[in-house]
Amino acid sequence: MAKKTVADIDVKGKKVLMRVDFNVPQDDNGNITSDDRIVKALPTIKNVLDRGGALILMSHLGRPEGARDDAYTLKPVAQRLSELLGKKVIFANDCVGPDAKAKAKALKPGDVLLLENLRFYKEEVIKDKAAKEDAQLRQAKDKFAKELASMADIYVDDAFGTAHRDNASMYTVPAVMEGKPRVIGFLIEKELQFLGDTVTNPQRPFVAILGGKKVSDKIGVIENLIPKVNRIIIGGAMAYTFLKARGKAIGESLCEEDFMPKALQLLDQAAEAGCEVMLPPDHVVVRKLEPGAEHRIAVGDIDPTWQAVDIGPMAAKEYAAKIVNARTIVWNGPMGVFEIPPFDQGTKAIAQAVAKATGKGAKSVVGGGDSASAIEQLGLQDKISHISTGGGASLEFLEGKKFKAIEILDEK
């Protein structure tokens, strides 16, 4: 995807409509607990402002279900962005309508306007397939997109976290802006470069580490990676679907029984391709999952009333040994119930091994909220080649899926 970037176009004296991902975590009082997504958008924002463009930023925040809900207002984001830029960010109390349009029209070169939450409108999340099948939905989505598009001369997409979605702001807006410049920002450029190069031109050994709850979420990724990687390391609850399919006793551990035949098929595919699949030989198990729960190590089979909540120390050691000697690493998903210590130890061991391998010259790409959280909690973010800003997007990229929202943008 050799797409034009914001650096390839003239923005001087232009109104630039930029889709960003300001879906930041907040506490119960609405205070931003991590401004990482705002910070990562700054290079593209500053580039437009420094070159004399006026910027209209649009984003979603949370899931307000298509109606105004002040618990999901972007106002705190405007305040934090003002602090980071050292200049006032104008805030529109709506993303379309008279206030937004008046404020957009009044922008001068170097000004920044942040529109209110796009998801206050159900039109933002109407799926393109539904719109094609229902004329009324299509009309509503198009009307919403045209209102957003009417405010600007240029469209920039720098929201990798939603790049796999066909939301109005991601796909329909650039569609109706055909004939005007439609480009990517530096954050998406970096994501495509790292994810693309990693999968298509890896140094070997190439190791993929996959965790999380469900095999069903990762089937496409595993199928796409089997012919490309030397080794797939599996942890998290998804491992127990594979283990049960192989005839192992897994106690009360989570298992997608409907996907057991598929799990066996994937293991056969990997064996035929010469791709090693590693499953945990031991497990941290509990009778009841809660903070401070009694736990023990089970090697091999798990007793009937116990459930696995993390990979065991033997698995952590075996996995780390293979990771440390890799030259290319892709990691998506935790090894256990990462949010409840001490069942985060397996995930932490993987994070440390990935950082160690990177320090020895490996290229590492980490995607997925819990994997990225583990890296950040251990202070290892500077020791990883690239931490993706889009968990779902990076996963779909690893599946080999095309992103309509990026494909529609201008080629170099």
E strand or H helix at 208, and its extent?
strand 206-210
**218 carries an active-site annotation:** no
- pTM (2 d.p.): 0.85
Q: What pLDDT score was predicted for residue 88?
A: 97
- pLDDT one-digit tens code per residue, 354-401: 999 999 999 999 986 778 888 888 889 899 998 887 777 777 887 777
Nearest to 22 by CA among 49, 64, 57: 57
- pLDDT one-digit tens code per residue, 3-51: 999 999 999 999 999 999 999 989 888 899 889 899 999 999 999 999 9
Q: What pLDDT score was predicted for residue 378?
A: 86
Confidence of residue 309 (pLDDT cuts 50, 70, 90): very high
Q: Which residue among the candidates 66, 110, 220, 392 is catalytic per the annotation?
A: 392
| Range picked from 217-221, 245-249, 337-341 for highest mean pLDDT | 245-249
The CA distance from 231 to 128, in Å, is 37
Report the Cα–Cα distance between both ends of the chain, in Å, rounded.
9
The CATH code of the domain at 194-398 is: 3.40.50.1260
The CA distance from 137 to 339, in Å, is 39
Q: What pLDDT score was predicted for residue 95?
A: 97
Sort 273 into a burial class: Cβ within 10 Å, 0-12 / 13-18 / 19+.
Answer: middle
**235 carries an active-site annotation:** no
Task: State the CB neighbour count (10 A cutoff) for residue 228.
Answer: 18
- On the question of a common fold for 6-187 and 194-398, the answer reads yes
DSSP 200: H
Q: What does R_g of the chain's alpha carbons equal in angstroms?
A: 23
Q: What pLDDT score was predicted for residue 50?
A: 97
Mean pLDDT of 209-233: 92
Q: Return the minimum-mean-pLDDT range out of 51-55, 397-401, 402-406.
A: 397-401
- Structure tokens that stand for 337 in this block: 């119930």
Mean pLDDT of 176-203: 90
DSSP secondary structure letters along 241-255: HHHHHTT--BTT---
Where are the domains positioned within the chain? 6-187, 194-398
DSSP 340: S
**392 carries an active-site annotation:** yes
On average, the pLDDT of the chain sits at 93
Tell me the fold of 6-187: Rossmann fold (3.40.50)
Confidence of residue 80 (pLDDT cuts 50, 70, 90): very high
Q: What pLDDT score was predicted for residue 1?
A: 53
Q: Which residue among the candidates 317, 369, 401, 404 is catalytic per the annotation?
A: 369
- pLDDT one-digit tens code per residue, 273-291: 999 999 999 999 999 998 8
Q: Going by C-beta distance under 8 Å and a sequence separation of 6 or more, which residues neighbour residue 349? A: 316, 317, 319, 320, 335
The percent of residues above 70 in pLDDT, for the chain, comes to 99
Confidence of residue 161 (pLDDT cuts 50, 70, 90): confident
**214 carries an active-site annotation:** yes
Q: Which residue among the candidates 214, 356, 401, 404 is catalytic per the annotation?
A: 214
Q: Which residue among the candidates 14, 19, 37, 40 is catalytic per the annotation?
A: 37
- Structure tokens that stand for 255 in this block: 């298992």
Residue 58 dihedral angles phi and psi, to the nearest 5°: -135, 145
Sort 43 into a burial class: Cβ within 10 Å, 0-12 / 13-18 / 19+.
Answer: middle
Confidence of residue 266 (pLDDT cuts 50, 70, 90): very high
**Mode of pairing for the β-strands spanning 154-157 and 182-184:** parallel
Q: Going by C-beta distance under 8 Å and a sequence separation of 6 or more, which residues neighbour residue 380? A: 351, 352, 354, 355
